[in-house]
């Protein structure tokens, strides 16, 4: 629309010499306006998926050679148009500050947190810090936290996947907690282990399914039982994973 006004201004300085041809222009001009101007307007106001106002923060565990399955999850989320940040767990405080600033600006409305190992241990702290800012977390997913943690603050839903016969522990509710907490023992998921839980295909599907449920309004997968065919997919994924990660 701005470009069209500029053309009009230019034409206005020589209006009379071109008046004889002006009658042929309106239909073409209108067609160009619809083709050039209307589409960006729809794109700017289209709430289609809500992905532009959602952000997923994924926290890796110790060093940056572990939790690399979170990179796979991030790639799959980005392919759906969901903005993602992947970082080491030591960055949880600065990421919380960043998310709070985006939330206050109105650019961010749906905050999702995912962490593996030490990254999962840091999630309750990140939830609490955001709550101090008055910023709610819509969904948090922990993958086998290595230390017993307590949850306070506001979170729509907190899902803690842990391996009961391994290093993982349940998350406990603390005073001031508001939301839903679900501790899910996944020791019976084929091929799952502390160093492979975030690479396991079944677990990746569960994590992405939970995120899609809040971002797109889809149904979340069952947290307890693998769907038919998931077991073989998990075995293939685990066989291809670098267990040392």
Q: What b-and-e string marks burial along 45-76, b requiring 16 or more CB atoms within 10 Å of the CB?
A: eeeeeebbbbbbbbbbbeeeebbbbbbbbbeb
pLDDT in tens for each of the 245 residues of the chain?
A: 333 333 323 333 333 333 333 344 334 333 333 333 333 322 222 344 444 699 999 999 987 788 999 999 999 999 999 999 999 999 999 999 999 999 999 999 999 999 999 999 999 999 999 999 999 999 999 999 988 899 999 999 999 999 999 888 999 999 989 999 999 999 999 999 999 999 999 999 999 999 999 999 876 655 544 444 444 444 443 333 333 33
Q: Tell me, which fold does domain 52-240 have in CATH?
A: Rossmann fold (3.40.50)
Backbone angles phi, psi at 37, to 5 degrees: -90, -30
Q: Are 138 and 110 in contact (CB under 8 A)?
A: yes
Domain ranges of the chain: 2-45, 52-240
Measure the CA–CA gap between 105 and 71, rounded to whole angstroms: 28
101-115 burial, b for 16+ CB within 10 Å, e for fewer?
A: ebbeeeebebbbbbb
Q: What is the pTM of this model?
A: 0.71
């Amino acid at each position: 629309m701005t470009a069209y006004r500029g053309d009009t201004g230019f034409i206005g300085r020589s209006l009379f010499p071109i008046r004889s041809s002006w009658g042929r222009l309106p239909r073409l001009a209108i067609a160009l306006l619809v083709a050039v101007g209307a589409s960006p307007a729809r794109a700017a106001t289209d709430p289609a998926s809500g992905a532009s106002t959602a952000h997923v923060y994924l926290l890796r565990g110790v060093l940056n050679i572990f939790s690399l399955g979170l990179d796979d999850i991030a790639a799959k989320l980005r392919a759906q148009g969901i903005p993602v940040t992947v970082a080491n767990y030591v960055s949880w405080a600065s990421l919380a500050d960043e998310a709070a600033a985006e939330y206050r600006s109105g650019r961010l409305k749906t905050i999702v947190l995912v962490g593996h190992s030490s990254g999962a241990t840091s999630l309750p702290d990140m939830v609490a810090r955001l709550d101090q800012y008055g910023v709610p977390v819509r969904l948090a997913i922990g993958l086998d936290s290595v230390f017993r943690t307590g949850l306070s603050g506001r979170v729509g839903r907190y899902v803690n996947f842990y391996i009961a016969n391994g290093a993982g522990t349940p998350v406990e509710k603390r005073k001031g907690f508001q939301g839903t907490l679900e501790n899910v023992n996944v020791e019976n998921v084929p091929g799952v282990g502390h160093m492979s839980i975030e690479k396991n295909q079944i677990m990746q599907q569960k994590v992405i399914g939970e995120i899609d449920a809040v971002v797109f309004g889809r149904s979340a997968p069952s947290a307890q039982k693998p769907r038919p065919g998931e077991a073989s997919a998990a075995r293939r994924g685990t066989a291809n994973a670098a267990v040392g990660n």
